[in-house]
């Protein structure tokens, strides 16, 4: 199959993504969506925030426009800018403007990474005005009925400098995500990576060992995503110890002693 | 010139060993040294001199022994031996150090062992996270004569040399640790073994048999939980232990392999079979059981954790309560709440006030937990997620008791517990000095001894002290005195803050650069190549600087220098507040290595508040100028701050100088060394001084361009802020 080329606002998720609800997050999202309220997803990396967004986009049958924020992301990167084409300047919508026009779900991943001024452009969209001011063209873009704004943010590892401002956070319905409890996580790992139950149990045990080390040497424990990666390697015939080493330990830390310790933990388990 | 004959060596040794005063006979040593080749002679004499800088007797003994040792030992081992003996001298005095010198054979033996064996100290960075990752109560690891645990700390031998390979010895450590962890985790201490033993007439063999059974049970647990580790244990067992076990033993121990077996099963088996069965040879990793040590530490812990848990629960309930009240208040503010709702709210508020909150813990069966249960808390039948500290306490308590007793869940009443009971005690640094000195609770830092060409380990005992705030008009007076200057400083610093620039002619950007575009269009019409750099981009430079000011508080600053320092600090704070850079201020002073003091004037996390102002006003001249420790400690403080640029600025009035030899070259060299260490950590150091002779030594310490000498003391306040501005732009 050749790669498909799509406009961002045409990106519909066609197959149901696997998502295992932890609580009542689906109901809350749907309620917020019908009430036209923006959402804030909180939680550590790799616990399923992005997957949840994909699932909701599929469920609501709306296009999903994801923007991964970085520290150089400016307001124009979201709203749009003039480009030069054939001797004329042409306005090109940014992803946020596209979503607002087309009535899609715009998901701004890791919002605190973006610059402070970027945050301000989403403010009028995130309250009852639901408009996007486009200063450069001198227009106000009123949001489509179906438009929905969601942002995510990881409260765990941000420094004080990169905290979400109150004026921003108090506009959103917040959903908290965490690693699923043990039973659920085992079933997720088993389902996603097609390893047998026993291996999934051990992988989850290993993840909890690394989570015990959070704060005493590791910045963050192994996420569910990493477990799925390791599981997939195991399914393809890699030995569990090697799979844990490449998919999990190396991803968690560069510190040589810590790596050895984490590898010793995984080799104790298998 | 190199010494070549005996007489010349005698002469050199006499000089180094101060024979004039000490009447030592250097002839036999010189005789021997003269027999070795020239290059080695030089090496030996150099080391004798280095040791003599620490202690002459030590050097004398070294001189007498080293020629003989050179025959069989390589130089690096000899150096290690010499340094080790000097370390021992630093820590335990001459007698012990001489012992190291005399027992050179033993040192060689041990260094050989260390080469093939695993050394606990070296492996700790791996082993500690390993055991803490294994779940359960956070265990500590310490060196001990025997391998055992008191249920909080694992004690392990300092070196393991059972196996010829360092890697296998490390594996043995790992299995030992996991096994001791298993004793804690799988409830070996959940019975009162002490009273069982006290009641038994043959306590020792009984304990022995019990441990043998318990070991089999734990092996089975490990096999289920950590199969990889269990395999390691088995292979070590085959390598080390003498396998003379009777088949019968396995039959006796069979019930212990079942998942339902717990410590009482082991105890019952011990009662049944005591006197009839000889246990097998112990496993190489099982260590010993010390029920009395466990009982002692457990008793202390159970009391403490009960208190901690109850207080934490109270706090949690108070927090939820407050949260609720806040919600109530905010909804009262809203007009949309109709009267009916209001009544409801009031009613609920009243009932919660009248009734004691009902907290319940439920033990939910969960096969993934080693105890087979998981604790779920509920408050008034609503499940709640406990905060981290409560979670940790619950785990630890279940580990000891197997459940959460109901009385543990009653929130603590006011003043029910004495804080001493549940708080880890912090010693007040001010009280420490009132008794005789001791190093407990102090930060220990090394110090560079240039004559020894090596560090003195754990040499300086450093404490952070507080400055007594003085609430007077000093800060206001200063602000008044330098009114004009402050205005000027604010302006210049404000200009620094905003460094956004519009970059033109960029290949990418937010806007179109019309000038560039017009040019490009003209070029295109003209037929020449058109530039693609048509955009403007906003370039923002964020200042990301953390700076520590290290202020000399030695006795010599008494008078106007002290006043100038304080004024400078006030002006600095004013400037830095405009700029928004993160900064901390510490004063330093020392009186011998046992009493190195850093005075906290402003920490990074503090804001420039009234108390900080009062502390600046309260800066008093203290004792001497020992600098190395202050640089080392503040480097550590700086390294904990997240910033792109880290700066350490010293404001001083003279050379490093303290009792116990910290003067002249020694002090300068140690300070230089400390600054080098700081540089390796990526810290920029700068020195501002008012010592006119400073040029001689400051360039050596800080580097040619990293200091300023201020000639007039009263210029200090004017200059410091400007120097800072220059430094950071």
Question: How far apart are the CA of B642 and the nearest CA of chain A, in angstroms?
Answer: 8
Percent of chain A with pLDDT over 70: 97
Q: Least CB-CB distance to B227: which of A159, A258, A270?
A: A270
Contact yes or no for B663/B704 (Cβ under 8 A): no
**Residue A222 token pair:** 């192994």
Alpha carbons B279 and B252: distance in angstroms, whole number: 10
Residue of A nearest to B129 (CA): A261
Which DSSP symbol is given to A68?
E
Read off φ and ψ for residue B125, nearest 5 degrees. -60, -20
- Does residue B539 or residue A125 have the better pLDDT? A125
Contact yes or no for B159/B113 (Cβ under 8 A): yes
Q: Least CB-CB distance to A270: which of B134, B228, B540?
A: B228
Residue of B nearest to A87 (CA): B521
Q: Is the pLDDT of residue A158 over 70?
A: no
- Does residue B384 or residue A189 have the better pLDDT? A189
Q: Least CB-CB distance to B130: which of A87, A218, A265?
A: A265
When scoring B133, B330, B523, B524 by the number of chain A Cβ atoms within 10 A, the one with the most, hence best to mutate, is B133
Alpha carbons B312 and B397: distance in angstroms, whole number: 14
Question: How far apart are the CA of B331 and the nearest CA of chain A, in angstroms?
Answer: 16
When scoring B123, B129, B533 by the number of chain A Cβ atoms within 10 A, the one with the most, hence best to mutate, is B129
Which DSSP symbol is given to B624?
B
Which DSSP symbol is given to A246?
I
pLDDT at B246: 58
| CA B141, B145, B146, B152 torsion-angle sign | negative
The DSSP bridge partners found for residue B683 are B646
**Interface touch B226/A241, C-beta < 8 Å:** no
**Residue A124 token pair:** 């009028």
**Residue A20 token pair:** 């295992």
3-state secondary structure A208-247: HHHHHCECCCECCCCCHHHHHHHHHHHHCCCCHHHHHHHH
**Interface touch A209/B133, C-beta < 8 Å:** yes
**Residue A164 token pair:** 């979400």
Q: How confident is the model at residue A37 (pLDDT cuts 50, 70, 90)?
A: very high
**Residue B177 token pair:** 């640790």
Alpha carbons B384 and B378: distance in angstroms, whole number: 5
pLDDT at B433: 47
Alpha carbons A204 and A200: distance in angstroms, whole number: 6
pLDDT at B327: 59
Alpha carbons B469 and B471: distance in angstroms, whole number: 6
Alpha carbons B377 and B391: distance in angstroms, whole number: 10
The parts of chain B modelled with pLDDT lower than 50 are: 1-3, 331-355, 425-427, 429, 432-437
pLDDT at B132: 86
**Interface touch B126/A261, C-beta < 8 Å:** yes
Question: How far apart are the CA of A19 and the nearest CA of chain B, in angstroms?
Answer: 23
Closest of B176, B148, B183 to residue B160, by C-alpha: B176
pLDDT at B334: 43
Query: Under DSSP, is residue A181 helix (H, G, I), strand (E, B) or coil?
Result: coil
pLDDT at B348: 43
Per-chain mean pLDDT for chain A: 87
Distances in whole angstroms, Cα of residue B481 to Cα of each of B48, B478, B526, B593? 59, 5, 66, 39
Contact yes or no for B89/B456 (Cβ under 8 A): no
Q: How confident is the model at residue A161 (pLDDT cuts 50, 70, 90)?
A: low
- Chain B residues touching A264 at Cβ < 8 A: 126, 130, 174
Q: Is the pLDDT of residue A14 over 80?
A: yes
Q: Is the pLDDT of residue A105 over 90?
A: yes
Question: How far apart are the CA of B181 and the nearest CA of chain A, in angstroms?
Answer: 13
Question: How far apart are the CA of A255 and the nearest CA of chain B, in angstroms?
Answer: 10
pLDDT at A235: 94
- Chain B residues touching A220 at Cβ < 8 A: none
Read off φ and ψ for residue B505, nearest 5 degrees. 50, 55
DSSP string, A71-133: TT--HHHHHEEEEEETTEEEEEE-HHHHHHHHT-EEEEETGGGS-HHHHHHHHHHHSTT-EEE
Residue appearing with tokens 């996580």: A185
Question: How far apart are the CA of B134 and the nearest CA of chain A, in angstroms?
Answer: 6
Contact yes or no for B375/B403 (Cβ under 8 A): no
Question: Chain A: which residues have CB within 8 Å of chain B?
Answer: 74-76, 81-82, 84, 87, 89, 115, 136, 159, 161, 182-183, 201, 204-205, 208-210, 212-213, 216-218, 241, 257-258, 260-262, 264-270
Contact yes or no for A90/A82 (Cβ under 8 A): yes
Strands A105-109 and A148-153: parallel
pLDDT at B500: 67
Mean predicted confidence (pLDDT) in A183-210: 91
Which DSSP symbol is given to A248?
I
| Cβ pairs bridging A and B (under 8 Å) | 82
């Amino acid at each position: 199959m050749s790669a498909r080329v799509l406009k961002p606002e045409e990106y519909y998720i066609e197959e149901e993504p696997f998502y295992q609800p932890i609580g009542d997050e689906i109901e809350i999202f749907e309620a917020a969506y019908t009430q036209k309220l923006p959402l804030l997803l909180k939680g550590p990396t790799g616990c399923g925030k992005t997957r949840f967004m994909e699932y909701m986009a599929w469920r609501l049958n709306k296009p999903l426009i994801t923007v991964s924020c970085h520290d150089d992301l400016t307001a124009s990167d979201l709203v749009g800018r003039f480009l030069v084409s054939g001797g004329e300047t042409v306005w090109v919508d940014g992803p946020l403007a596209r979503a607002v026009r087309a009535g899609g779900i715009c998901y701004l991943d890791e919002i605190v990474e973006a610059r402070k001024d970027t945050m301000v452009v989403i403010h009028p969209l995130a309250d009852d005005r639901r408009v996007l001011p486009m200063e450069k063209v001198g227009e106000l873009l009123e949001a489509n009925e179906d438009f929905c704004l969601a942002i995510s943010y990881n409260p765990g590892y941000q420094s004080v400098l990169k905290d979400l401002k109150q004026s921003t956070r108090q506009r959103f319905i917040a959903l908290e995500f965490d690693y699923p409890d043990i039973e659920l996580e085992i079933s997720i790992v088993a389902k996603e990576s097609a390893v047998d139950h026993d291996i999934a149990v051990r992988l989850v045990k290993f993840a909890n060992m690394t989570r015990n080390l959070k704060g005493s040497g590791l910045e963050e424990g192994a996420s569910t995503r990493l477990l799925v990666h390791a599981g997939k390697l195991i399914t393809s015939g890699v030995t569990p110890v090697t799979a844990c080493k490449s998919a999990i330990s190396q991803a968690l830390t560069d510190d040589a002693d810590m790596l050895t310790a984490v590898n010793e933990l995984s080799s104790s388990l298998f | 010139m190199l010494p070549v004959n005996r007489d010349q060596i005698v002469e050199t040794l006499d000089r180094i060993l101060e024979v004039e005063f000490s009447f030592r006979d250097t002839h036999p040593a010189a005789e021997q040294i003269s027999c070795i080749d020239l290059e080695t002679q030089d090496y030996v004499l150099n080391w004798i001199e280095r040791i003599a800088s620490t202690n002459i007797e030590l050097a004398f003994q070294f001189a007498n022994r080293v020629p003989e040792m050179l025959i069989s030992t390589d130089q690096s081992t000899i150096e290690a031996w010499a340094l080790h003996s000097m370390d021992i001298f630093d820590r335990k005095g001459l007698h012990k150090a001489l012992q190291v010198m005399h027992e050179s054979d033993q040192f060689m033996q041990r260094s050989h062992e260390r080469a093939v064996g695993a050394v606990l100290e070296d492996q700790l960075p791996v082993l500690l996270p390993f055991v803490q990752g294994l779940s359960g109560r956070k265990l500590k690891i310490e060196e001990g004569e025997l391998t055992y645990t008191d249920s909080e700390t694992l004690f392990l031998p300092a070196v393991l040399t059972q196996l010829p390979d360092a890697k296998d010895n490390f594996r043995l450590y790992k299995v030992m640790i996991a096994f001791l962890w298993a004793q804690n985790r799988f409830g070996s201490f959940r019975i009162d073994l002490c009273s069982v033993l006290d009641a038994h007439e043959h306590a020792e063999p009984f304990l022995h048999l019990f441990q043998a059974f318990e070991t089999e049970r734990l092996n089975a647990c490990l096999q289920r939980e950590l199969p990889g580790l269990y395999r390691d244990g088995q292979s070590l067992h085959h390598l080390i232990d003498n396998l003379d076990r009777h088949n019968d033993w396995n039959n006796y121990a069979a019930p212990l392999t079942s998942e339902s077996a717990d410590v009482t099963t082991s105890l019952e088996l011990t009662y049944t079979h005591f006197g009839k069965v000889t246990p097998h040879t112990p496993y190489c990793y099982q260590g010993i059981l010390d029920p009395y040590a466990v009982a002692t530490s457990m008793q202390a812990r159970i009391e403490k954790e009960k208190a901690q848990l109850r207080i934490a629960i109270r706090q949690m309930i108070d927090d939820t309560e407050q949260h609720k009240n806040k919600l109530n208040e905010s909804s009262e503010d809203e007009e949309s709440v109709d009267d009916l709702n209001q009544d409801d709210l009031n009613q609920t508020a009243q009932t919660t006030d009248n009734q004691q909150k009902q907290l319940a813990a439920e033990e939910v069966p969960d096969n993934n937990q080693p105890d087979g249960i998981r604790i779920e808390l509920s408050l008034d039948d609503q499940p709640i997620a406990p905060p981290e500290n409560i979670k940790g306490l619950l785990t630890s308590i279940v580990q000891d008791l197997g459940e959460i007793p109901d009385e543990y869940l009653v929130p603590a009443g006011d003043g029910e517990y004495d804080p001493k009971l549940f708080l880890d005690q912090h010693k007040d640094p001010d009280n420490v000095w009132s008794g005789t000195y001791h190093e407990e609770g102090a930060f220990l830092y090394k110090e560079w001894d240039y004559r020894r060409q090596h560090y003195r380990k754990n040499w300086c005992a450093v404490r952070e002290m507080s400055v007594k705030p003085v609430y007077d008009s000093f800060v206001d007076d200063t602000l008044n005195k330098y009114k004009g200057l402050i205005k000027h400083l604010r302006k210049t610093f404000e200009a620094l803050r905003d460094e956004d620039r519009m970059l033109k002619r960029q290949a990418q950007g937010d806007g179109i650069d019309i000038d560039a575009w017009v040019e490009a269009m003209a070029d295109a019409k003209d037929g020449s190549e058109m530039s693609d750099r048509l955009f403007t981009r906003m370039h923002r430079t964020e200042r990301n600087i953390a700076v520590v000011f290290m202020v000399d508080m030695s006795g010599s600053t008494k008078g106007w220098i002290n006043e100038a320092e304080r004024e400078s600090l006030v002006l600095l704070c004013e400037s830095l507040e405009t700029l928004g850079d993160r900064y901390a201020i510490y004063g330093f002073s020392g009186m011998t290595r046992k009493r190195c003091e850093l005075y906290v004037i402003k920490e990074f996390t503090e804001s420039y508040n009234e108390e900080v102002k009062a502390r600046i006003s309260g800066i008093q001249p203290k004792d001497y100028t020992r600098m190395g420790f202050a640089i080392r400690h503040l480097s550590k403080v700086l390294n904990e701050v997240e910033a792109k640029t880290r700066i350490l600025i010293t404001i001083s009035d003279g050379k490093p100088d303290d009792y116990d030899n910290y003067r002249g070259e020694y002090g300068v060299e140690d300070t230089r060394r400390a600054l080098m260490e700081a540089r390796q950590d990526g810290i920029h150091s700068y020195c501002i001084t008012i010592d006119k002779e400073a040029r001689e030594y400051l360039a050596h310490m800080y580097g040619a361009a990293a200091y300023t000498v201020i000639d007039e003391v009263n210029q200090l306040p004017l200059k410091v802020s400007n120097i800072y501005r220059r430094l950071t732009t």
